[in-house]
């Protein structure tokens, strides 16, 4: 296979972790007979500095022509100005919209070697293996809004959803659940919000197409509690944009470190392809406090590469090989500082990438 991958290294530790991800892709190419070509483009704070916008038009054009997009991280104190016309995070929202990426997939699987890294009791965590799917293009982040202005008396954001937006993400979640343990939890706030009542009604209708998948409807505040009390009870969770944003960060801490968790943002099937264009990124931020020190954990980005191989390129064996390589390195007791424990061998970003590449 020949594939073109756009790399958006971004800000902070983004360039460091994406370098390690490309290292792994290169080994996959050599081992399995594929060729991966990389196009590097700007997005985020670095794009604001060099191009005057967080998402240049040429970046969008390149992504639309790519087979997949690999993103590092964006943002940092330098651009954290509340009154700024453009901010790095705006580029992230804009690229999701431009590429029509409507679903964010975040697997949360507990590595037994890292169970100590979580603040949750081991007895609660045992058996945790879930996939959280967040809707990406609707809700309060994209609905009509009004800034407070200089007077500062009133501001609002509108949680707006349409039936087609709900249908497509629930259907994707149901398909994912059908391939896992056939359990789906749909999160809403239907006891209060009109948009959530539509969400629940459409979910009920869609799930009639999946009689083999057990579905439950969970209020978002209850789900926030259940994730800490009985996380192993859940298989696939689907939520609207704002609720999903919050719950996925909460779920990430079950695994002990954001440095371990990958994500995939998927769009519709492309013309002439049976696979979607996807944007793949670690769930962590740009971590400017450790940028340039060579100590960032690259494993979330490397595991994002596994998702890229699986979802946008259809290379399941290659994806599983990357995941096994990460598992083997962790089983050997090697850690970056964020997941270190007494007795483990602590290494930096580049060495961790080298070890995974060698194992692969």
Residues whose CB is less than 8 angstroms from the CB of residue 149 and which lie 6 or more positions away in sequence, other chains included:
none
The CA dihedral of 29, 326, 92, 68, to the nearest 10 degrees, is 20
Q: Is 129 exposed, middle or buried (0-12, 13-18, 19+ CB in 10 A)?
A: middle
Handedness of CA 114, 120, 124, 130 (dihedral sign): negative
Has 189 been annotated as catalytic?
yes
Q: Exactly one of 49, 57, 80, 221 is catalytic; which is it? A: 221
Q: Exactly one of 129, 249, 328, 354 is catalytic; which is it? A: 249
Has 221 been annotated as catalytic?
yes
Query: Which alpha helices (H) appear in the chain, and where do they start and end?
Result: 14-32, 45-51, 57-65, 88-98, 122-125, 163-178, 194-207, 220-229, 241-252, 299-311, 316-331, 349-359
CA angle 68, 315, 251 (to 5 degrees): 70
Has 57 been annotated as catalytic?
no
Has 268 been annotated as catalytic?
no
Q: Exactly one of 26, 141, 182, 183 is catalytic; which is it? A: 141
Has 249 been annotated as catalytic?
yes
Q: Is 224 exposed, middle or buried (0-12, 13-18, 19+ CB in 10 A)?
A: middle
Distances (CA, A) of 200 to 161, 204, 220, 239, 281: 12, 6, 12, 10, 29
Handedness of CA 307, 311, 312, 316 (dihedral sign): positive
Tell me how far apart the terminal alpha carbons of the chain are, to the nearest angstrom: 19
Q: Is 17 exposed, middle or buried (0-12, 13-18, 19+ CB in 10 A)?
A: buried
Q: Exactly one of 189, 210, 235, 338 is catalytic; which is it? A: 189
Q: Is 206 helix (H, G, I), strand (E, B) or coil?
A: helix
Q: Exactly one of 26, 157, 245, 328 is catalytic; which is it? A: 245
Catalytic positions: 141, 189, 221, 245, 249
């Amino acid at each position: 296979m020949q594939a073109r991958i756009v790399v958006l290294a971004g800000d902070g530790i983004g360039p460091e972790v994406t370098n390690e991800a490309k290292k792994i892709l290169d080994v996959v190419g050599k081992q399995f007979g594929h060729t991966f070509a990389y196009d590097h483009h700007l997005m985020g704070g670095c794009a604001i500095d060099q191009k005057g916008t967080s998402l240049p038009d040429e970046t969008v054009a390149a992504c639309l022509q790519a087979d997949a997009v690999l993103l590092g991280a964006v943002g940092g104190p330098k651009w954290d100005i509340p009154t700024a016309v453009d901010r790095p995070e705006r580029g992230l929202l804009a690229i999701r919209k431009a590429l029509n990426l409507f679903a964010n997939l975040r697997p949360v699987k507990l590595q037994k070697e890292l169970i100590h890294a979580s603040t949750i009791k081991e007895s609660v965590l045992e058996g945790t293996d879930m996939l959280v799917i967040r809707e990406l293009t609707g809700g309060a982040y994209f609905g009509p809004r009004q800034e407070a202005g200089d007077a500062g008396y009133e501001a609002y954001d509108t949680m707006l959803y349409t039936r087609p937006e709900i249908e497509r993400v629930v259907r994707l979640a149901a398909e994912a659940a059908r391939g896992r343990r056939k359990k789906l939890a749909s999160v809403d706030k239907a006891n209060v919000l009109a948009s959530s009542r539509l969400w629940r009604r459409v979910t009920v209708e869609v799930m009639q197409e999946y009689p083999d998948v057990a579905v439950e409807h969970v209020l978002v505040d209850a789900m926030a509690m259940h994730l800490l009390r009985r996380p192993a009870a859940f298989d696939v969770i689907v939520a609207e944009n704002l609720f999903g944003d919050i719950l996925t960060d909460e779920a990430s801490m079950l695994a002990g470190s954001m440095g371990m968790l990958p994500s995939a943002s998927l769009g519709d099937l492309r013309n002439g392809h049976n696979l979607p264009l996807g944007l793949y990124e670690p769930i962590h931020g740009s971590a400017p406090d450790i940028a340039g020190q060579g100590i960032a954990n690259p494993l979330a980005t490397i595991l994002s590469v596994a998702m890229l191989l699986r979802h946008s390129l259809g290379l399941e064996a290659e994806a599983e090989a990357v995941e096994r390589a990460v598992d083997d390195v962790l089983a050997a007791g090697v850690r970056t500082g964020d997941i270190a424990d007494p007795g483990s061998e602590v290494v930096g970003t580049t060495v961790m990438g080298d070890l995974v590449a060698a194992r692969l």
